[in-house]
Amino acid sequence: MDWCLCFNRFFPLIDAFAPLPAAAQETTIYKDSIRRFNELPEGEDDSTEAPVQPNGTSLSIEHLSFCI
């Protein structure tokens, strides 16, 4: 029974990693684009702090359901 579970977990991993060799081969085609992308300057951090809500603010959620 354990070997059955092993194959059940192993084969989805093969599907995930199977396209990697083809993707690595295509990097030579886009070598110039990759080089230019890597030469782009670092961007500034655009994150902002969340606004402070006044005291006494409440949130109510009614009639919420999830379907699978």
Segment 16-65, tens digit of pLDDT: 777 777 777 777 788 888 889 999 888 777 777 777 777 877 888 999 88
Residue at 61: amino acid letter = I
pTM of the model: 0.31
* Block residue for tokens 């006044």: 54
What are the φ/ψ torsions at residue 44 (nearest 5 degrees)?
A: -80, 155
Q: How many CA atoms lie within 13 A of 55 on its CB side?
A: 0
Distance CA 66, CA 68 (A): 7
